[in-house]
Amino acid sequence: MLQQTTVQTVGAYYVKFLKAWPTVRDLADAQLDDVLTAWAGLGYYARARNLHRTAKIVAGDFGGRFPDTAEALRKLPGIGGYTSGAIAAIAFDRREAAIDANAERVLARVFAVKAPMPKAKERLRELGQALVPQKRAGDFAQALMDLGSSICTPKRPACARCPWSGDCEARQLGIQEELPVKAARIARPLKRGVAFVARDAAGAVLLAKRPVKGLLGGMMQPPLGPWSAEFPSKKEAMLQAPFRAGWKKRAGVVRHGFTHFELEIEVYAAECEAISPPVNGAGQWVRDPSTVALPTVMKKILRHAGADDAPLLRQARSARRR
C-alpha cells in the first residue's frame, strides 16, 4: 500500500484491510471484487490484484508461509527488487538491501553519484548492498530509509544532524541538494472522452466492470466512450451512449492525472423512469456506489453528474412518497 502512496493516506486502509483479511489464507480465499473495493481510492490498482494473486500462490504453493529469500520473493506477482529486499531483510534478517526512493537519495549524496535517474538505480543498489551488515539487516534497512525521510530530505537536508555528514561526498562538494539527478520530465499526453451516468427512478446508477487486464483492471465505471485527442461532438457522443435516453451534458469537465497521461472527461447524465436492462447485459444497476470498487476518477465522474449521493436521493424520494 505504501508504494507511491503516503503513510497518512494508507493508515485507515491498512487497518480496515487487515481486519477484513487478517491472514494470507484469508486474503487468498477473498473475492477479487471485494479486495478491489477495499482498495478503492488508493490508486495503482495492479498492486491490489498482484497482492491477491500472491496470497493465492503463498497459500497454495508454500503452505501459507512466505519464501524467505529475496530471489524467491521476486518470483511472486508484484514483488520487485525493493520489496523483495525489504521483506527478506526486515522479516527474515537476510543480508539484503532495501533501496526505496529515500535510500536512493541518501546513497546518491553519500557517494556523489551524478548519473541521472533512473539510470543510476542499479549503481545505487550495488552501493547499498555493499553496506548491509552481517547482522540486523532489517534494522539497517529501516534506518537508511528513515534517514532519507527525516534528515536527508529532498530539499534543505538537515546535514548538521546527519550521522553520515562527515563522509558525505555531496556535502563536501556542496551539491547535496542537486542529487540525485532527476531525469528530464516528459510531457504527459492529454486524452479526452465522454462518460454516461444513468440513474433509474430509485437512484440506482448504471455501472460496468472494466477488463481485468489493463488500466484500472477489474474496477467499476459508468459507461465510457473511447479516449482520443479531442472530445466527440454531441452527435458522435450519442452514438457512444449505452442506450437512447434524454442525455444532457453537464457543464465543465472532469480532470484526472494518471502516471503516463492526463485525462479530461465530459459527462452526460440521464434519468430513467424505470430500470432498463443494461445493453447486451454489460453492466449492472448499483443502488449504493460506495459498496463497489470505484477508482477515484470514476468517483469524480459520478460526483460531477450528481450521482454519488444515491442513498440520500432514495431517502428523499421515499420521504416525498410518504
**Residue 44, domain CATH:** 1.10.340.30
Q: What is the mean pLDDT of residues 267-282?
A: 72
Reported confidence tier of residue 3, pLDDT bands at 50, 70, 90: confident
**Residue 13 and residue 4: Cα distance in Å, rounded?**
14
| Cβ within 8 Å of residue 147, ≥6 positions away | 102, 106, 162, 163, 164
Q: What's the confidence (pLDDT) of residue 274?
A: 59
Reported confidence tier of residue 319, pLDDT bands at 50, 70, 90: very low
Q: What's the confidence (pLDDT) of residue 227?
A: 97
**Residue 255 and residue 266: Cα distance in Å, rounded?**
9
Reported confidence tier of residue 318, pLDDT bands at 50, 70, 90: very low
**Residue 117 and residue 120: Cα distance in Å, rounded?**
5
Query: Does 247 reside within a domain?
Result: yes
Which is nearest to 268 in space by CA: 296, 245, 291? 245
- Cell numbers representing residue 265 in the block: 472527461
Q: What's the confidence (pLDDT) of residue 5?
A: 85
Q: What's the confidence (pLDDT) of residue 277?
A: 58
| Per-residue pLDDT at 202 exceeds 90 | no
Reported confidence tier of residue 84, pLDDT bands at 50, 70, 90: very high
Residue-number span of the structural domain to which 227 is assigned = 190-321
Query: What global pTM score does this model have?
Result: 0.78
Instruction: State the amino acid at position 141 in one-letter form.
Output: A
Q: Is the peptide bond before 311 cis (omega within 30 degrees of 0)?
A: no
Judgement on whether residues 254 and 125 belong to the same structural domain of the protein: no
Reported confidence tier of residue 309, pLDDT bands at 50, 70, 90: low
Query: Does 236 reside within a domain?
Result: yes
**Residue 208 and residue 281: Cα distance in Å, rounded?**
10
Q: What is the average pLDDT value for the chain, to the nearest integer?
A: 91
Judgement on whether residues 139 and 212 belong to the same structural domain of the protein: no
Reported confidence tier of residue 316, pLDDT bands at 50, 70, 90: very low
For 51-78, the pLDDT digits (tens) are: 999 999 999 999 999 999 999 999 999 9
Judgement on whether residues 114 and 210 belong to the same structural domain of the protein: no
Q: What's the confidence (pLDDT) of residue 192?
A: 97
> Positive or negative, the Cα torsion across 242, 48, 106, 123?
negative
Judgement on whether residues 90 and 38 belong to the same structural domain of the protein: yes
Strands (E), 200-314: 205-209, 220-221, 248-249, 254-257, 262-271, 284-286
Q: What's the confidence (pLDDT) of residue 213?
A: 87
Judgement on whether residues 173 and 199 belong to the same structural domain of the protein: no
Boundary residue ending a domain (125, 153, 178):
178
Q: Contact, 106 vs 98, CB < 8 A?
A: no
% of the chain with per-residue pLDDT over 70: 92
Query: Does 184 reside within a domain?
Result: no
Q: Contact, 200 vs 272, CB < 8 A?
A: yes
**How many domains, in total, are found in the chain?**
2
| Per-residue pLDDT at 161 exceeds 60 | yes
Judgement on whether residues 42 and 131 belong to the same structural domain of the protein: yes
| Per-residue pLDDT at 164 exceeds 70 | yes
For 109-151, the pLDDT digits (tens) are: 999 999 999 999 999 999 999 999 999 999 999 999 999 999 9
Query: Does 59 reside within a domain?
Result: yes
Q: What's the confidence (pLDDT) of residue 275?
A: 60
Judgement on whether residues 143 and 105 belong to the same structural domain of the protein: yes
Region for residue 210 given its phi and psi (left: phi exceeds 0; alpha: psi -120 to 50; beta: otherwise): beta
Q: What is the mean pLDDT of residues 243-261?
A: 94
Least confident of 184-198, 204-218, 277-291: 277-291
Residues written for the chain? 322
